[in-house]
Structure 1
Amino acid sequence: MTTILVTGGTGTLGRLVTERLRADGAEVRVLSRHSRPYAVDLREGTGLAAAVAGVDTVVHCATTPRGGDEQAARHLIEAARQAGVRHLAYISIVGVDRVPLGYYRTKLAVEELIEASGLGWTVLRTTQFHDLVLRVLQSSAKLPLMLLPAGVADQPIEVAEVAARLAELATGPPAGRVPDMGGPEVRTLPELGRAYLRASGRRRPLLNVPLAGKAYQGFRSGGHLAPERAVGKVTFEQFLARRFPARG
Protein backbone atom coordinates (compact mmCIF):
# COMPACT_ATOMS: atom_id res chain seq x y z
CA MET A 1 0.00 0.00 0.00
CA THR A 2 1.24 3.49 -0.87
CA THR A 3 2.17 5.64 2.13
CA ILE A 4 1.63 9.36 1.66
CA LEU A 5 2.59 12.15 4.06
CA VAL A 6 0.46 15.31 3.93
CA THR A 7 2.08 18.35 5.53
CA GLY A 8 -0.41 20.86 6.87
CA GLY A 9 -2.82 17.95 6.95
CA THR A 10 -5.20 19.63 9.40
CA GLY A 11 -5.55 22.84 7.38
CA THR A 12 -8.25 23.99 4.97
CA LEU A 13 -6.76 22.14 1.99
CA GLY A 14 -4.66 19.47 3.70
CA ARG A 15 -7.63 18.05 5.61
CA LEU A 16 -9.60 17.51 2.40
CA VAL A 17 -6.58 16.06 0.58
CA THR A 18 -6.13 13.60 3.45
CA GLU A 19 -9.78 12.57 3.36
CA ARG A 20 -9.67 12.08 -0.41
CA LEU A 21 -6.48 9.99 -0.33
CA ARG A 22 -7.80 7.76 2.45
CA ALA A 23 -11.07 7.27 0.59
CA ASP A 24 -9.01 6.09 -2.38
CA GLY A 25 -7.23 3.51 -0.24
CA ALA A 26 -3.90 5.20 0.53
CA GLU A 27 -2.21 5.03 3.91
CA VAL A 28 -1.89 8.67 4.94
CA ARG A 29 0.21 10.30 7.62
CA VAL A 30 -0.87 13.76 8.75
CA LEU A 31 1.90 16.17 9.68
CA SER A 32 1.22 19.44 11.44
CA ARG A 33 2.61 21.26 14.44
CA HIS A 34 0.03 19.76 16.81
CA SER A 35 -1.14 16.53 15.16
CA ARG A 36 0.30 13.45 16.83
CA PRO A 37 2.06 11.13 16.22
CA TYR A 38 3.66 13.40 13.58
CA ALA A 39 3.62 16.74 15.40
CA VAL A 40 6.45 18.57 13.64
CA ASP A 41 7.27 22.24 13.18
CA LEU A 42 8.84 22.17 9.72
CA ARG A 43 10.73 25.36 10.41
CA GLU A 44 12.64 23.49 13.12
CA GLY A 45 12.65 20.06 11.48
CA THR A 46 12.76 18.11 14.75
CA GLY A 47 11.04 14.73 14.34
CA LEU A 48 10.77 15.06 10.58
CA ALA A 49 12.97 12.03 9.81
CA ALA A 50 10.55 9.70 11.62
CA ALA A 51 7.58 11.24 9.82
CA VAL A 52 8.99 10.61 6.32
CA ALA A 53 10.50 7.17 7.02
CA GLY A 54 8.89 4.65 4.66
CA VAL A 55 6.90 7.33 2.81
CA ASP A 56 6.50 7.08 -0.98
CA THR A 57 4.98 10.52 -1.63
CA VAL A 58 4.85 13.83 0.23
CA VAL A 59 2.04 16.32 -0.44
CA HIS A 60 3.29 19.67 0.84
CA CYS A 61 0.33 21.84 1.87
CA ALA A 62 1.84 23.46 4.97
CA THR A 63 2.37 27.20 4.61
CA THR A 64 2.15 30.43 6.56
CA PRO A 65 2.26 34.09 5.48
CA ARG A 66 4.13 34.81 8.73
CA GLY A 67 7.40 33.52 7.26
CA GLY A 68 9.53 30.41 7.41
CA ASP A 69 8.24 28.55 4.34
CA GLU A 70 11.64 28.41 2.64
CA GLN A 71 13.36 27.01 5.72
CA ALA A 72 10.53 24.51 6.14
CA ALA A 73 10.92 23.41 2.51
CA ARG A 74 14.66 22.92 2.92
CA HIS A 75 14.12 20.69 5.95
CA LEU A 76 11.40 18.72 4.17
CA ILE A 77 13.45 18.23 1.00
CA GLU A 78 16.52 17.03 2.92
CA ALA A 79 14.47 14.58 4.97
CA ALA A 80 12.70 13.34 1.84
CA ARG A 81 16.01 12.77 0.07
CA GLN A 82 17.38 10.77 2.98
CA ALA A 83 14.19 8.70 3.25
CA GLY A 84 14.12 7.88 -0.47
CA VAL A 85 10.80 9.63 -1.14
CA ARG A 86 10.01 9.28 -4.85
CA HIS A 87 7.49 12.11 -5.29
CA LEU A 88 7.03 15.56 -3.73
CA ALA A 89 3.81 17.35 -4.72
CA TYR A 90 3.41 21.04 -3.88
CA ILE A 91 0.44 23.40 -3.94
CA SER A 92 1.23 26.93 -5.10
CA ILE A 93 -0.61 30.04 -6.29
CA VAL A 94 -1.31 31.44 -9.74
CA GLY A 95 0.75 34.59 -10.22
CA VAL A 96 3.65 33.92 -7.87
CA ASP A 97 5.96 34.79 -10.76
CA ARG A 98 3.96 37.86 -11.83
CA VAL A 99 2.76 39.65 -8.68
CA PRO A 100 5.61 41.05 -6.53
CA LEU A 101 3.94 40.32 -3.19
CA GLY A 102 6.22 39.09 -0.41
CA TYR A 103 4.23 35.91 0.27
CA TYR A 104 4.05 35.14 -3.46
CA ARG A 105 7.82 35.54 -3.78
CA THR A 106 8.24 33.03 -0.97
CA LYS A 107 5.94 30.53 -2.69
CA LEU A 108 7.95 30.94 -5.89
CA ALA A 109 11.19 30.38 -3.99
CA VAL A 110 9.79 27.14 -2.55
CA GLU A 111 8.81 26.03 -6.06
CA GLU A 112 12.39 26.63 -7.17
CA LEU A 113 13.79 24.68 -4.21
CA ILE A 114 11.56 21.73 -5.07
CA GLU A 115 12.47 21.83 -8.76
CA ALA A 116 16.17 21.78 -7.87
CA SER A 117 15.80 19.12 -5.17
CA GLY A 118 16.65 16.08 -7.28
CA LEU A 119 13.36 14.49 -6.19
CA GLY A 120 10.50 13.64 -8.50
CA TRP A 121 8.16 16.61 -8.19
CA THR A 122 4.80 18.06 -9.14
CA VAL A 123 3.68 21.69 -8.70
CA LEU A 124 0.04 22.75 -9.01
CA ARG A 125 -0.85 26.45 -8.97
CA THR A 126 -4.43 27.55 -8.29
CA THR A 127 -6.29 30.81 -7.93
CA GLN A 128 -7.52 31.91 -4.48
CA PHE A 129 -9.87 29.64 -2.55
CA HIS A 130 -13.46 30.77 -1.93
CA ASP A 131 -12.68 30.58 1.80
CA LEU A 132 -9.90 33.19 1.58
CA VAL A 133 -12.00 35.59 -0.49
CA LEU A 134 -14.81 35.25 2.06
CA ARG A 135 -12.44 36.05 4.95
CA VAL A 136 -11.22 39.17 3.15
CA LEU A 137 -14.78 40.36 2.54
CA GLN A 138 -15.86 39.60 6.11
CA SER A 139 -12.95 41.64 7.40
CA SER A 140 -13.86 44.55 5.11
CA ALA A 141 -17.48 44.40 6.24
CA LYS A 142 -16.53 45.02 9.88
CA LEU A 143 -16.37 48.72 9.04
CA PRO A 144 -19.45 50.84 8.36
CA LEU A 145 -18.10 51.30 4.81
CA MET A 146 -16.84 48.27 2.86
CA LEU A 147 -13.47 49.31 1.43
CA LEU A 148 -12.19 47.34 -1.57
CA PRO A 149 -9.06 47.82 -3.72
CA ALA A 150 -10.07 49.63 -6.90
CA GLY A 151 -9.75 47.89 -10.24
CA VAL A 152 -9.03 44.42 -8.86
CA ALA A 153 -10.79 41.20 -9.87
CA ASP A 154 -10.50 37.67 -8.52
CA GLN A 155 -11.21 34.13 -9.71
CA PRO A 156 -12.09 32.13 -6.59
CA ILE A 157 -12.07 28.34 -6.69
CA GLU A 158 -13.63 25.65 -4.50
CA VAL A 159 -11.04 24.09 -2.18
CA ALA A 160 -12.61 20.62 -2.50
CA GLU A 161 -11.98 20.70 -6.25
CA VAL A 162 -8.34 21.59 -5.64
CA ALA A 163 -8.05 18.79 -3.08
CA ALA A 164 -9.40 16.26 -5.56
CA ARG A 165 -6.91 17.36 -8.22
CA LEU A 166 -3.97 17.39 -5.80
CA ALA A 167 -4.84 13.91 -4.53
CA GLU A 168 -5.03 12.69 -8.12
CA LEU A 169 -1.59 14.14 -8.86
CA ALA A 170 -0.12 12.71 -5.66
CA THR A 171 -1.11 9.18 -6.56
CA GLY A 172 0.34 9.48 -10.07
CA PRO A 173 3.93 9.81 -11.26
CA PRO A 174 5.85 13.09 -10.84
CA ALA A 175 4.54 15.47 -13.50
CA GLY A 176 6.56 18.69 -13.04
CA ARG A 177 4.64 21.95 -13.40
CA VAL A 178 1.09 20.95 -14.33
CA PRO A 179 -1.59 23.25 -15.85
CA ASP A 180 -3.00 25.85 -13.48
CA MET A 181 -6.45 25.57 -11.91
CA GLY A 182 -8.68 28.63 -11.95
CA GLY A 183 -12.17 29.19 -10.59
CA PRO A 184 -15.12 29.20 -13.00
CA GLU A 185 -15.47 33.00 -13.20
CA VAL A 186 -13.37 36.14 -13.08
CA ARG A 187 -15.32 38.62 -10.94
CA THR A 188 -14.62 42.15 -9.81
CA LEU A 189 -14.22 42.68 -6.08
CA PRO A 190 -17.40 44.82 -5.91
CA GLU A 191 -19.33 41.95 -7.53
CA LEU A 192 -17.94 39.51 -4.99
CA GLY A 193 -18.58 41.99 -2.17
CA ARG A 194 -22.22 42.48 -3.16
CA ALA A 195 -22.70 38.71 -3.43
CA TYR A 196 -21.38 38.32 0.11
CA LEU A 197 -23.61 41.09 1.47
CA ARG A 198 -26.69 39.55 -0.14
CA ALA A 199 -25.90 36.07 1.16
CA SER A 200 -25.11 37.24 4.70
CA GLY A 201 -27.98 39.70 4.92
CA ARG A 202 -25.67 42.60 5.73
CA ARG A 203 -25.92 46.13 4.40
CA ARG A 204 -22.82 48.15 3.62
CA PRO A 205 -22.01 50.81 1.02
CA LEU A 206 -18.99 49.79 -1.08
CA LEU A 207 -16.10 52.12 -1.79
CA ASN A 208 -13.33 51.36 -4.28
CA VAL A 209 -10.02 52.61 -2.92
CA PRO A 210 -6.96 53.13 -5.18
CA LEU A 211 -3.78 51.76 -3.62
CA ALA A 212 -0.10 52.17 -4.36
CA GLY A 213 2.76 49.77 -4.94
CA LYS A 214 3.94 47.17 -7.43
CA ALA A 215 2.00 44.33 -5.83
CA TYR A 216 -1.25 46.27 -6.21
CA GLN A 217 -0.41 46.97 -9.84
CA GLY A 218 0.22 43.27 -10.33
CA PHE A 219 -3.24 42.47 -9.00
CA ARG A 220 -4.84 45.26 -11.08
CA SER A 221 -3.23 43.82 -14.22
CA GLY A 222 -4.64 40.36 -13.43
CA GLY A 223 -1.33 38.64 -12.75
CA HIS A 224 -3.07 36.36 -10.23
CA LEU A 225 -5.78 35.24 -12.65
CA ALA A 226 -6.00 32.30 -15.04
CA PRO A 227 -9.03 32.96 -17.26
CA GLU A 228 -7.73 30.50 -19.84
CA ARG A 229 -7.80 27.79 -17.13
CA ALA A 230 -11.28 28.40 -15.69
CA VAL A 231 -11.75 24.71 -14.87
CA GLY A 232 -13.51 25.07 -11.51
CA LYS A 233 -17.22 24.28 -11.31
CA VAL A 234 -18.48 25.80 -8.05
CA THR A 235 -19.26 29.53 -8.28
CA PHE A 236 -18.81 31.99 -5.44
CA GLU A 237 -22.60 32.31 -5.07
CA GLN A 238 -22.94 28.53 -4.75
CA PHE A 239 -20.22 28.52 -2.11
CA LEU A 240 -21.96 31.34 -0.22
CA ALA A 241 -25.29 29.52 -0.37
CA ARG A 242 -23.75 26.69 1.65
CA ARG A 243 -22.13 29.06 4.16
CA PHE A 244 -25.26 31.19 4.60
CA PRO A 245 -28.34 28.96 4.18
CA ALA A 246 -31.47 30.83 3.15
CA ARG A 247 -33.30 32.29 6.13
CA GLY A 248 -36.90 31.39 6.75
Structure 2
Amino acid sequence: MANTANTAKTPVLVTGGTGNLGRHVVPLLRAAGLPVRVLSRQERAGEDGVTYLRGDLLGDAAQAAADLDAALAGVHTVLHLAGGPKGDDVATRRLVDAARRAGVRHLVYISVIGADAVPLGYFRAKHAAEQAVAGSGLPYTVLRAAQFHDLALTVVEKMAKLPLVPAPGGVRWQPVDVRDVAARLVELALGEPAGTVADLAGPEVYEMGELAKGYLAAHGRTRRQLHFRLPGKVGRAYRAGTNLAPADAEHGRRTWEEFLAERLAA
Protein backbone atom coordinates (compact mmCIF):
# COMPACT_ATOMS: atom_id res chain seq x y z
CA MET A 1 0.00 0.00 0.00
CA ALA A 2 1.37 3.42 -0.88
CA ASN A 3 2.13 5.81 1.92
CA THR A 4 -0.66 8.43 2.09
CA ALA A 5 1.95 11.06 2.89
CA ASN A 6 3.63 10.39 -0.44
CA THR A 7 0.42 10.29 -2.48
CA ALA A 8 -0.29 13.80 -1.23
CA LYS A 9 3.09 14.90 -2.70
CA THR A 10 4.28 16.51 0.50
CA PRO A 11 8.01 17.24 0.62
CA VAL A 12 10.37 14.45 1.68
CA LEU A 13 13.32 15.47 3.85
CA VAL A 14 16.60 13.69 3.18
CA THR A 15 19.58 14.01 5.53
CA GLY A 16 22.86 13.08 3.91
CA GLY A 17 21.33 13.85 0.53
CA THR A 18 24.64 15.10 -0.89
CA GLY A 19 26.59 12.00 0.17
CA ASN A 20 27.33 8.85 -1.81
CA LEU A 21 24.00 7.20 -0.97
CA GLY A 22 21.97 10.40 -1.03
CA ARG A 23 23.13 11.27 -4.55
CA HIS A 24 21.37 8.12 -5.74
CA VAL A 25 18.32 8.39 -3.48
CA VAL A 26 17.35 11.98 -4.33
CA PRO A 27 16.95 11.42 -8.11
CA LEU A 28 14.83 8.34 -7.44
CA LEU A 29 12.52 10.34 -5.19
CA ARG A 30 12.26 13.00 -7.87
CA ALA A 31 11.51 10.33 -10.48
CA ALA A 32 8.62 9.26 -8.24
CA GLY A 33 7.30 12.81 -8.48
CA LEU A 34 8.12 13.87 -4.93
CA PRO A 35 9.45 17.30 -3.95
CA VAL A 36 12.65 16.82 -1.97
CA ARG A 37 14.30 18.85 0.76
CA VAL A 38 17.95 18.08 1.47
CA LEU A 39 19.54 19.01 4.78
CA SER A 40 23.09 20.17 4.06
CA ARG A 41 25.90 21.69 6.12
CA GLN A 42 26.75 23.90 3.16
CA GLU A 43 24.48 26.35 1.37
CA ARG A 44 23.58 25.15 -2.12
CA ALA A 45 21.48 26.41 -4.97
CA GLY A 46 18.26 24.50 -5.52
CA GLU A 47 17.44 22.52 -8.63
CA ASP A 48 14.32 21.09 -10.22
CA GLY A 49 12.17 19.84 -7.37
CA VAL A 50 15.06 19.81 -4.87
CA THR A 51 15.56 22.43 -2.16
CA TYR A 52 18.72 22.53 -0.06
CA LEU A 53 18.31 23.71 3.53
CA ARG A 54 21.21 24.48 5.80
CA GLY A 55 21.52 22.35 8.90
CA ASP A 56 24.22 20.52 10.85
CA LEU A 57 22.94 17.65 12.97
CA LEU A 58 26.15 17.65 15.02
CA GLY A 59 26.56 21.41 15.34
CA ASP A 60 25.30 23.68 18.10
CA ALA A 61 22.30 21.98 19.66
CA ALA A 62 20.00 25.01 19.69
CA GLN A 63 20.87 25.94 16.11
CA ALA A 64 20.44 22.35 14.94
CA ALA A 65 16.99 22.22 16.52
CA ALA A 66 15.94 25.49 14.87
CA ASP A 67 17.23 24.37 11.47
CA LEU A 68 15.47 21.02 11.80
CA ASP A 69 12.18 22.62 12.81
CA ALA A 70 12.30 24.77 9.65
CA ALA A 71 13.32 21.87 7.42
CA LEU A 72 10.61 19.56 8.77
CA ALA A 73 7.70 21.98 8.46
CA GLY A 74 5.04 20.24 6.39
CA VAL A 75 7.15 17.09 5.96
CA HIS A 76 5.57 13.68 6.48
CA THR A 77 8.44 11.38 5.42
CA VAL A 78 12.13 11.60 6.38
CA LEU A 79 15.00 9.52 5.02
CA HIS A 80 17.88 9.72 7.48
CA LEU A 81 20.98 8.86 5.46
CA ALA A 82 23.53 11.16 7.10
CA GLY A 83 26.31 9.30 8.83
CA GLY A 84 29.97 9.41 9.67
CA PRO A 85 32.69 7.77 11.73
CA LYS A 86 31.36 9.38 14.93
CA GLY A 87 28.20 10.88 16.32
CA ASP A 88 25.48 8.99 14.46
CA ASP A 89 23.66 8.35 17.73
CA VAL A 90 23.69 12.02 18.72
CA ALA A 91 22.59 13.19 15.28
CA THR A 92 19.77 10.68 15.17
CA ARG A 93 18.44 11.61 18.60
CA ARG A 94 18.32 15.26 17.57
CA LEU A 95 16.49 14.37 14.37
CA VAL A 96 14.04 12.15 16.25
CA ASP A 97 13.21 14.92 18.71
CA ALA A 98 12.53 17.37 15.88
CA ALA A 99 10.54 14.80 13.90
CA ARG A 100 8.28 14.26 16.91
CA ARG A 101 7.70 18.00 17.20
CA ALA A 102 6.83 18.15 13.49
CA GLY A 103 4.49 15.16 13.55
CA VAL A 104 6.47 13.16 10.99
CA ARG A 105 4.55 10.10 9.84
CA HIS A 106 7.41 7.94 8.54
CA LEU A 107 11.09 7.99 9.51
CA VAL A 108 13.33 5.78 7.36
CA TYR A 109 16.81 5.04 8.72
CA ILE A 110 19.77 3.30 7.08
CA SER A 111 21.94 1.27 9.45
CA VAL A 112 24.61 -1.41 9.06
CA ILE A 113 24.49 -5.18 9.33
CA GLY A 114 25.98 -6.28 12.65
CA ALA A 115 25.23 -2.98 14.37
CA ASP A 116 24.40 -4.82 17.57
CA ALA A 117 27.23 -7.35 17.34
CA VAL A 118 30.48 -5.89 15.99
CA PRO A 119 32.44 -4.29 18.90
CA LEU A 120 33.53 -1.13 17.11
CA GLY A 121 32.50 2.44 17.92
CA TYR A 122 30.89 3.02 14.53
CA PHE A 123 28.66 -0.03 14.90
CA ARG A 124 27.76 0.85 18.50
CA ALA A 125 26.69 4.34 17.42
CA LYS A 126 24.58 2.88 14.63
CA HIS A 127 22.88 0.53 17.08
CA ALA A 128 22.20 3.39 19.49
CA ALA A 129 20.71 5.34 16.59
CA GLU A 130 18.49 2.37 15.73
CA GLN A 131 17.27 2.28 19.31
CA ALA A 132 16.53 6.01 19.23
CA VAL A 133 14.41 5.54 16.10
CA ALA A 134 12.60 2.46 17.41
CA GLY A 135 11.92 4.09 20.77
CA SER A 136 10.81 7.42 19.34
CA GLY A 137 7.11 6.63 19.13
CA LEU A 138 7.24 7.61 15.45
CA PRO A 139 6.21 5.26 12.65
CA TYR A 140 9.53 4.06 11.27
CA THR A 141 11.45 1.74 8.99
CA VAL A 142 15.04 0.62 9.60
CA LEU A 143 17.12 -1.03 6.89
CA ARG A 144 20.49 -2.56 7.73
CA ALA A 145 22.84 -2.80 4.75
CA ALA A 146 26.28 -4.27 4.22
CA GLN A 147 29.31 -2.11 3.41
CA PHE A 148 29.07 -0.47 0.01
CA HIS A 149 31.30 -1.42 -2.89
CA ASP A 150 32.66 2.13 -2.73
CA LEU A 151 33.97 1.60 0.80
CA ALA A 152 35.49 -1.74 -0.16
CA LEU A 153 37.24 0.02 -3.05
CA THR A 154 38.64 2.71 -0.75
CA VAL A 155 39.98 0.06 1.62
CA VAL A 156 41.61 -2.16 -1.01
CA GLU A 157 43.10 0.83 -2.83
CA LYS A 158 44.96 1.71 0.35
CA MET A 159 45.91 -1.92 0.99
CA ALA A 160 47.25 -2.34 -2.55
CA LYS A 161 49.76 0.48 -2.03
CA LEU A 162 51.55 -1.42 0.74
CA PRO A 163 54.60 -3.65 0.06
CA LEU A 164 52.58 -6.63 1.28
CA VAL A 165 48.79 -6.56 0.92
CA PRO A 166 47.13 -7.29 4.29
CA ALA A 167 44.88 -10.36 4.25
CA PRO A 168 43.34 -10.81 7.72
CA GLY A 169 42.21 -14.42 7.97
CA GLY A 170 38.50 -15.03 8.46
CA VAL A 171 37.54 -11.38 7.88
CA ARG A 172 34.79 -11.45 5.28
CA TRP A 173 32.69 -8.76 3.67
CA GLN A 174 29.52 -8.99 1.63
CA PRO A 175 29.66 -5.62 -0.16
CA VAL A 176 26.54 -4.25 -1.78
CA ASP A 177 26.11 -1.72 -4.56
CA VAL A 178 24.96 1.71 -3.40
CA ARG A 179 22.40 1.82 -6.22
CA ASP A 180 20.73 -1.33 -4.94
CA VAL A 181 20.53 0.17 -1.46
CA ALA A 182 19.14 3.46 -2.81
CA ALA A 183 16.42 1.69 -4.76
CA ARG A 184 15.40 -0.33 -1.70
CA LEU A 185 15.30 2.75 0.54
CA VAL A 186 13.05 4.65 -1.86
CA GLU A 187 10.78 1.62 -2.14
CA LEU A 188 10.50 1.57 1.65
CA ALA A 189 9.95 5.32 1.88
CA LEU A 190 7.09 5.09 -0.62
CA GLY A 191 5.46 2.34 1.42
CA GLU A 192 4.01 2.13 4.89
CA PRO A 193 6.28 2.14 7.98
CA ALA A 194 7.51 -1.44 8.44
CA GLY A 195 9.75 -1.42 11.53
CA THR A 196 13.02 -3.30 11.08
CA VAL A 197 13.03 -4.94 7.66
CA ALA A 198 15.21 -7.68 6.17
CA ASP A 199 18.89 -6.80 5.83
CA LEU A 200 20.33 -6.00 2.41
CA ALA A 201 23.74 -7.33 1.35
CA GLY A 202 25.61 -8.02 -1.84
CA PRO A 203 25.24 -11.27 -3.78
CA GLU A 204 28.66 -12.70 -2.78
CA VAL A 205 30.81 -13.08 0.33
CA TYR A 206 34.54 -12.35 -0.01
CA GLU A 207 37.58 -12.71 2.19
CA MET A 208 39.33 -9.37 2.46
CA GLY A 209 42.26 -10.86 0.59
CA GLU A 210 39.93 -11.83 -2.24
CA LEU A 211 38.62 -8.28 -2.54
CA ALA A 212 42.16 -6.99 -2.83
CA LYS A 213 43.11 -9.69 -5.31
CA GLY A 214 40.09 -8.84 -7.47
CA TYR A 215 41.02 -5.17 -7.42
CA LEU A 216 44.61 -5.89 -8.44
CA ALA A 217 43.52 -8.33 -11.15
CA ALA A 218 41.17 -5.72 -12.60
CA HIS A 219 44.21 -3.46 -12.96
CA GLY A 220 46.35 -6.23 -14.39
CA ARG A 221 48.52 -6.41 -11.29
CA THR A 222 49.52 -8.95 -8.68
CA ARG A 223 50.97 -8.44 -5.21
CA ARG A 224 52.07 -10.73 -2.40
CA GLN A 225 49.72 -10.88 0.57
CA LEU A 226 50.45 -10.82 4.27
CA HIS A 227 48.17 -13.32 6.01
CA PHE A 228 47.53 -12.77 9.71
CA ARG A 229 44.92 -13.32 12.41
CA LEU A 230 43.00 -10.25 13.56
CA PRO A 231 43.22 -10.29 17.38
CA GLY A 232 40.74 -9.52 20.14
CA LYS A 233 36.99 -9.16 20.26
CA VAL A 234 36.86 -7.50 16.85
CA GLY A 235 38.68 -10.40 15.22
CA ARG A 236 36.39 -12.94 16.89
CA ALA A 237 33.30 -11.01 15.78
CA TYR A 238 34.42 -10.90 12.17
CA ARG A 239 35.48 -14.55 12.12
CA ALA A 240 32.02 -15.42 13.50
CA GLY A 241 30.46 -13.56 10.57
CA THR A 242 28.46 -11.12 12.69
CA ASN A 243 28.86 -8.52 9.93
CA LEU A 244 27.40 -10.84 7.27
CA ALA A 245 23.79 -11.07 6.17
CA PRO A 246 21.55 -13.58 7.96
CA ALA A 247 19.65 -16.27 6.12
CA ASP A 248 16.52 -14.15 5.68
CA ALA A 249 18.36 -11.20 4.13
CA GLU A 250 17.72 -9.72 0.72
CA HIS A 251 20.52 -9.35 -1.80
CA GLY A 252 21.52 -6.74 -4.34
CA ARG A 253 22.26 -7.87 -7.87
CA ARG A 254 25.51 -6.07 -8.71
CA THR A 255 28.68 -7.98 -7.83
CA TRP A 256 32.06 -6.65 -6.77
CA GLU A 257 33.53 -7.71 -10.12
CA GLU A 258 30.82 -5.84 -12.04
CA PHE A 259 31.39 -2.76 -9.91
CA LEU A 260 35.14 -2.84 -10.60
CA ALA A 261 34.58 -3.31 -14.33
CA GLU A 262 32.27 -0.27 -14.39
CA ARG A 263 34.82 1.85 -12.55
CA LEU A 264 37.59 0.86 -14.93
CA ALA A 265 35.39 1.57 -17.94
CA ALA A 266 34.56 5.00 -16.53
Report if TM-score (shorter chain) is over 0.5: yes
Contact persistence 2:141–2:194 (CA under 8 A): yes
- Letter in structure 1 aligned against 2:262: R
Greater shift after overlay, 46-55 or 32-41? Answer: 32-41
1:234 is matched with which residue: 254, 258, 264? Answer: 254
* Structure 1 residues 197-216: aligned runs within 5 Å: 197-216=216-235
Of the three residues 99, 108, 113, the one matched with 2:132 is: 113
* TM-superposition CA deviations, 1:111-168 (whole Å, max 9, x none): 0000010111000001111111111101111212111222211111111000000001
Taking structure 2 as the reference length, what is the TM-score of the superposition?
A: 0.88
Q: Partners in 1 of 2:90 and 2:116 — Cα distance?
A: 20
> For residue 39 of structure 1, what is the aligned residue in structure 2?
54
Q: What CA distance in whole angstroms lies between the structure 2 residues aligned with 1:162 and 1:200?
A: 27
Greater CA drift, 195-204 or 90-99:
195-204
Quick check: 7-16 or 195-204, which moved more?
Answer: 195-204
1:17 to 25, 43, 48: 25
Q: How much does 1:206 deviate?
A: 1.4
Q: Indicate the residue corresponding to 2:5 in structure 1.
A: none
- Unaligned stretches of 5+ residues in structure 1: none
Conserved? CA contact 1:196–1:240, under 8 Å: yes
Out of 159, 175, 194, which is 1:156 matched to? Answer: 175
**Mapped contact 2:113–2:245 kept (Cα < 8 A):** yes
What amino acid maps onto 1:106 in structure 2?
Answer: A
CA distance, structure 2, for counterparts of residue 30 and residue 204 of structure 1 = 43
Distance 1:71 1:227 in 2: 28
Match of 1:222 in 2: 241
CA distance in 2, matches of 1:148, 1:140: 9
* Preserved contact between residue 140 and residue 148 of structure 1 (Cα < 8 Å): no
Q: Separation in 1 of the partners of 2:94 and 2:175?
A: 31
Q: What is the total number of aligned residue pairs between the two structures?
A: 245
- Structure 2 unpaired stretches of 5+: 1-8, 45-51
Q: Deviations over 1:51-93 (max 9, x none)?
A: 111111110000110x222221121111111111111000001
For the residue of structure 2 that corresponds to 1:204, the secondary structure is coil
1:193-248 CA distances to partner (integer Å, 9 max, x unpaired)? 111001123332111222212122111111000152252111100000011129xx
CA distance in 2, matches of 1:124, 1:20: 17
1:141-152 superposed matches below 5 A: 141-152=160-171
- Residues 51-200 of structure 1 aligned to structure 2 (within 5 Å): 51-65=71-85, 67-200=86-219
Tell me the distance in 1 between the aligned counterparts of 2:254 and 2:246.
15
Amino acid at match of 1:123: V
Tell me, in whole angstroms, the C-alpha distance in 2 between the residues paired with 1:116 and 1:35.
32
**Do the aligned partners of 2:201 and 2:245 also contact (CA within 8 Å) in 1?**
yes
Question: Per the alignment, in what secondary structure is the counterpart of residue 203 of structure 2?
Answer: coil
Per the TM alignment, residue 32 of structure 1 is displaced from its structure 2 partner at its CA by 2.0
Does the aligned pair in 1 maintain the 2:199–2:246 contact within 8 Å? Answer: no
Runs of 4+ in 1 over 3 A off after TM superposition: none
Q: Distance in 1 between matches of 2:209 and 2:43?
A: 39
Identity of aligned residues (%): 54
Q: TM-score w.r.t. structure 1 length? A: 0.95
- Secondary structure of 1:38's aligned partner: strand
Moved more, 51-60 or 26-35: 26-35
